[in-house]
Structure 1
């Protein structure tokens, strides 16, 4: 394993933040209303207060305040969330409660989006984060903590569920445009354009919508990079279209059809360990199709759906094609999913019963063997019941993986209602994550380490399993939200990477030294707490704050997990300065963490950094909205440790835009 310098355990940021939040409980006594409806935690409707999980919701209004180019931008100020530039060149990933992005399950309308098998982990999940047109989003629900009892593998850290806009009965249309300009460095300008139309094709019978979006972002150069020849952020050109039809069969039934298509092209000059500067070109095409039948019957609701996703990736990185004799990589991943669900009341029990069948097919030019096909199936049951002031949610899911056998994921959660506005909540759950094909197939070979090594799958890997606990309290009314949540996750057999000397398959050498492969890290523990509070000082001024402490460590060696800061804090203020003018200010603190340096073969501590952003929104007319502002207002830079591995923070950036709705 690579060496890690001993880390001193920093003191926690002041717990007086909690003292600033919880005394506010005495301020307000109005009963809670169903604010920011959440469905991801149970697949039934709850408020953030009553949901049996740690939840946050990003609304459409929140998305319109600042320039948002992908899911990472949309959720970066939420508690428990860390947006890590896990790979350089401006790519991002969503980490929840100190865990890697592989443990964050991404859903669209409750269905997983997944190009995990097509992309090695060095690419983060940025292609998945960028796959959804931001103009099509109605809201985003973030569940922090394990949800394998409903969603199966990959949900150890939590779930990000994107709810897309539904077709409307009345006719609506609009266009929007946004422009960003870095005030220092070379180029980096970004243009984003979108448009939508929604309405009834047949009155009270057939509704439809169409949303299109395009982004053109130039490569950005910075004097902070290890060489002036490489890009701090790559060039991106994206185009996407999303359309849906809702056929209202009668008052009880509907059939929903949705189609989406996206092209995502990337180009950047990378650093091959400082002695070569290859051009990296990646072009991804993603298409998806979904068909759903929803029924509302006497005493129960039903849902049956089929979802298809096809991902094609062309990878023409010079550092890889040169070492492969000029061949570039072609990858195709296809996902087929059929699932069904029934929800019904049985006495005072709300029962949810569901099943899922999923097939993943992978064809990869890096695969030395044949095409790979994996089948999975699952059955889950959930029970929601009330015992006086205590609401209990019990759930369990049985998964059968073709390669790794069966896994059982139970979960129990309780919400005790101290009043209509104040609850104590907590629970325990088990979860799992099966190795990806790239991690486990020894015939899968990929060049990595900036050309220094190759990655090869390990057929002896075991699935990761985790047990998670959380306990806290939450208060919510029309003016105030405040809470604290303590959490701990114990992971067994966490999949990590290490350098080995040689890899053989059937007695034949398939890769030369050095080789980067995967192994099971026996015991890892992540523990910490989250503080959060929102308060409306008046009808015009609102304040927001949250703080997350997360300590992620190997329990056997006491070494910290890399790319996992212990401290993250966010402060924000929203001010309706004039009837038509709204202002918002956001501050984010990211604590020190460890980054791995390939050239020095070790992990090194990089210091904390701060960002400050200012935004303005002006309602010029009923149809026309103008917005603008500055990101990274103070032009903050990361330290030399981060810059040495080309983890560059974009400097002060101006943004302006407009939206015109008919």
Structure 2
């Protein structure tokens, strides 16, 4: 089978490579330097710290890893990290990143320490909405920091499961930039092709003012697959996925007022467009899902930030606005959050060296959704909230003290005080100890409190969210068999509280690395859907506080030097439990074992390869999707042809693994080929 577009892409890459070789013969150039991991990890504490001393379970994805392959979706990179599950498939619940067995709504996503916001409550169905993680051009990303486990003591309600902080590249002192173009072609011609182009440019405007500009366009064509019918004659959904076109633009103006003070202004906009795949019911001839999940989602963000060095300490203050607008077929849905937050970091000595961070936050959230708010029938809900507008104000104060007790022993103590008019006051303390018994060994562990207040929609009596079936399984004891249901909010919800305990050990010597961590989280008042029944021809569930819930498991990683410039690294997560203790049901659908393993070989200064395996174990949780474990393999290669040109090629799902059986409805991508080129200027 021939693929003209792919052939043209390979031909273009070959011509560029030939040109690069000729240029190199004329002028000998040095190899491109490898990206170095920055020692300062800024997400786990009020101030930066070395990764080995971070008071939390942390991981870093470097610029080098991001550049190695086309990054249409950051989830494909994040699923490589221990403690992370999900990230397989381009859409739906299966695509979303989950930390330590918790739903994606428990993960706080930041860009340079600032909240990116959430579009979840603007969707008709929550599981159709994407995770808000791809609103920024990959060319602009310097690294991604991930903290696993509750970070409510620093970040508040949204960080109950962990934090993903995307760190962007700084404004260059000299004008420079990069342009990247990627294409991915599935081997199955019924699957959609993906193309991506991104650009980043930055440099000085004056001696004290710098400018950074970035843009990205990604387009995935819709699948055009015939329906798959199982042995029972039932139609199996999600055999194909719809198309999407995303674009984003970003501008950052940085003013270095003097050597101690910096002021920046940033504006960004992203637009996600989606349309359904082309599938039919065979003899019926009807299109399935035409317009289903389709829409146009826009995100606008405006930020003003100040960083200051006052001699006795450093400060940071951010004021920003995040807006989401989802154009529905009927009605409108938009959300907005205004945030002002700041912190002051002061090092001092009192008995021992210490570093104290104090700070606060004010946030106002607003939500309008005419498609899902004010739509619950009053028969069983009482006086449902009329109208489609919701609003809430929140404020917080926090303090963190890092005590350096010995050269090899540190203790971090912290607490955050959150207040809202709706849910009252809540404290989220934590204590964490990091000990180096030997320069090569680290022992770390701690206890932290997690806190999550219900979202505006979850706490509304008039809110209704549609589910395609996986969210309706609690109705089965009442006679529900299959199909969709509606899930109602509840104004009587209490905030969720969790207590997280973890302990781990790690080793790092001369290229050899190993780590193992046990985590255990107990929940009080966990928010889950409980069955209501059938009203006015519809099945209904409603959010309620479960008495108790628990997640626990192991996460580990290893890195082994193989030969010169080659290493083998493995990250694994084993979920022992993710369970509602009141009902006995699993909290989410997640694999018992997730494993990523890769062999990296830098063959020469210019040529590198990676052979990776991604194992998804037998699933815990809802339904029978992915009941069998499976492993996929990817092969990538990159060539720094010159100082200004890098080429990437590879094969995804090398063995064309397809683990689905008759009952499986999750999308599983088959073998695909990709090629990319990046030019630096």
Scaled by the length of structure 2, the TM-score of the pair is 0.84
Q: 2:295 aligns with which of 282, 301, 308?
A: 282
Give the deviation of 1:560 after TM superposition.
3.1
Secondary structure in 2 aligned to 1:123? helix
Aligned residue in 2 for 1:457 = 489
Segment of structure 1 superposing worse, 651-660 or 76-85? 76-85
- Return 5+ residue gaps in structure 1 as ranges: 1-32, 317-327, 504-510, 598-602
- Does 2:550 align with 1:525? yes
**1:308 alignment partner in structure 2:** 321
Matches for 1:363-442 after TM superposition, within 5 Å: 363-366=368-371, 367-368=373-374, 369-370=386-387, 371-388=389-406, 389-442=408-461
Q: Is structure 2 residue 382 aligned with structure 1 residue 350?
A: no
Q: Deviations over 1:283-337 (max 9, x none)?
A: 1010101100110111100111101111000133xxxxxxxxxxx1411101100
Q: 1:156 aligns with which of 147, 153, 160?
A: 160
Distance 1:158 1:392 in 2: 20
Please, which of 219, 229, 238 is the counterpart of residue 246 of structure 2? 238
Displacement after TM superposition at 1:135 (Å): 1.9
Please say which of residues 215-224 and 188-197 is displaced more in the overlay: 215-224
Change in 2 beyond 3 A, CA 1:562/1:270: farther
For the structure 1 residues 526 and 458, does the alpha-carbon distance in structure 2 shift closer, same or farther, using more than 3 Å as the test? same
In the TM superposition, residue 37 of structure 1 has moved relative to its aligned partner by 2.8
Q: 1:476-491 to 2 correspondence within 5 Å?
A: 476-477=508-509, 479-491=511-523
Relative to 1, partners in 2 of residues 1:557 and 1:185: Cα closer, same or farther, differing over 3 Å?
farther
Assess, with a 3 A threshold, how the Cα gap between structure 1 residues 199 and 223 changes in structure 2: closer, same or farther.
same
Larger deviation, residues 265-274 vs 116-125: 265-274
Q: Within 5 Å, which residues of 2 pair with 1:56-205?
A: 56-84=59-87, 92-115=95-118, 116-119=120-123, 122-123=126-127, 126-203=130-207, 205=208
Asked whether the 8 Å contact 1:194–1:212 carries over to 2, the reply is yes
- 2:526: which partner in 1? 494
TM-aligned CA deviation for residue 365 of structure 1? 0.8
Distance (whole Å) between structure 2 residues aligned to residue 489 and residue 647 of structure 1: 28
Question: Structure 2: how far apart are the matches of 1:77 and 1:614?
Answer: 15
Report Cα offsets for 1:257-292 as digits up to 9, x if no partner.
111101100111499999972322111010101100
- Given that 1:222 and 1:228 are in contact with CA atoms closer than 8 Å, whether structure 2 keeps it comes out as no
Q: Secondary structure at the match of 2:613?
A: strand
For residue 268 of structure 2, give the secondary structure of its aligned residue in structure 1.
Answer: strand
Q: Does 1:638 align with 2:659?
A: yes
After TM superposition, the score normalised by the length of structure 1 is 0.87
Partner of 1:47: 50
**Distance across 2 between alignment mates of 1:642 and 1:245:** 53
In structure 2, C-alpha distance between the alignment counterparts of 1:86 and 1:654, rounded to whole Å: 16
Q: In the aligned structure 1, how far is the partner of 2:605 from the partner of 2:60?
A: 25
Contact 1:34 1:46 in 2 (8 A): no
Q: Does residue 567 of structure 2 align to residue 542 of structure 1?
A: yes
Q: Distance in 1 between matches of 2:300 and 2:646?
A: 32
For structure 2, the residue ranges without an aligned partner over 5 or more in a row are: 1-35, 230-234, 375-385, 470-482
RMSD between superposed Cα atoms in Å: 2.5
Deviation at 1:625, TM superposition (A): 0.4
Match of 1:337 among 339, 350, 355: 339
Q: Structure 1 residues 403 and 301 mapped into 2: Cα distance closer, same or farther (>3 Å)?
A: same
Given that 1:595 and 1:605 are in contact with CA atoms closer than 8 Å, whether structure 2 keeps it comes out as no
Displacement of 1:245 in angstroms is 1.1
1:208 matched to 2:211 = yes
